[in-house]
Amino acid sequence: MKKPKQVTDLFIATPGTSIARHIRLINVLILAGLLALLFGFGFSRLSYEFRWEAIWRYRNSMFNGFLMTISISLAALVTSVLLGIFFALARRSRIILLNYFSHVYIEIIRGTPLLVQILIFYYVIANAAGLNNRYVAGVVIMSIFASAYIAEIIRAGIESVGTTQRETARSIGLTKRQTYRHIIFPQVITGVLPPLAGQFASLIKDSSLLSIIAIKEFTMAAREVNANTFSTLESYIPLAIGYLMLTVPISYLMKRLERRFYYET
């Protein structure tokens, strides 16, 4: 039975049915128009004069910063996953000291602002340890920060493998190590991939704070351009777009992984 055409059909989705392409297009265009109006109004009130040519000269330094952000985030992702696995296992360890250490570590890192962590690590710990390479310091700080979140993601993943499966593994005669290797980890990996992708997106954005210790990443590059040209918006709008170019594909990937995982279980 087909309902009579109504104007509201263009704007209100029927539960359980996918939205038709032309309706989607109409709504996207309206939304884009509204946003354009909003920003147009904002900028017109600002009476700001864009001078894109001023920052064009700094395109190389912006691009290098962009690459630096990717490089730091990727390196930090790898080390923070390793650290995260360690702390997740330590959190479940029967060795009390290890267990407590992991607990305290996760609480402190997740409970304090990244900004404070960066300052303390850089000016106290790295300084005392004689670590002068800013790139390495940046990777270490971001790894420490992200690993606390990743540890919790992995711990939740391990705990989602139910007791019945552990029990079955035991009755088959698998050792604890074999149970982790063949039963728990393969399931944890598929389960934690979506939240891990989300964590990676956060890592990319959060690394912008590294600019306060003068690491030449993307945000630092934009700040320098701004300082040299006084073209604030021309420096920061490309910055926002650059971050979106990294995070939007990741969030798209995350949704696809989630869907795949959903169908598999």
**Chain positions contacting another protein, by CB under 8 A:** 164-165, 167-168, 170-175, 178, 182-183, 186-187, 190, 264-265
Residues with Cβ < 8 Å from 155, sequence gap 6 or more?
Answer: 88, 91, 92
Closer by beta carbon to another protein, 49 or else 264: 264
Say if CB 153 and CB 196 are below 8 A apart: yes
- 61 or 187: whose CB is closer to another protein? 187
Note whether 244 and 235 are within 8 A (CB).
no
Amino acid at 161: V
Tokens for 204? 């990319």
**What tokens were used for 51?**
């001078």
- How far is the C-alpha of 2 from the C-alpha of 213, rounded, in Å? 63
Q: What Å distances lie between residue 15 and 7, 18, 215, 255, CA to CA? A: 17, 8, 49, 20
- Smaller CB separation from another protein, 130 or 173: 173
Q: Kindly state the smallest distance separating residue 181's Cβ from another protein, in Å.
A: 9
CA 217/CA 210 separation, integer angstroms? 8
Closest contact distance (angstroms) between CB of 174 and another protein is 6
CB closer to another protein out of 153 and 169: 169
Q: In whole angstroms, how close is the CB of 86 to another protein at the nearest point?
A: 23
Query: Minimum distance from CB of 178 to another protein (Å)?
Result: 6
Measured CA to CA, the distance from residue 139 to residue 146 in angstroms comes to 10
Give the 3-state secondary structure percentages of the chain, helix then strand then coil, rounded to 5.
85, 0, 15
Q: Which of 127, 168 has the CB closer to another protein?
A: 168
Q: Of 214, 103, 216, whose CA–CA distance to 155 is shortest?
A: 103
In whole angstroms, the minimum distance from the beta carbon of 186 to another protein comes to 5
Cβ closest to another protein, residue 92 vs residue 170: 170
- As measured in angstroms, the least distance from the Cβ of 115 to another protein is 40
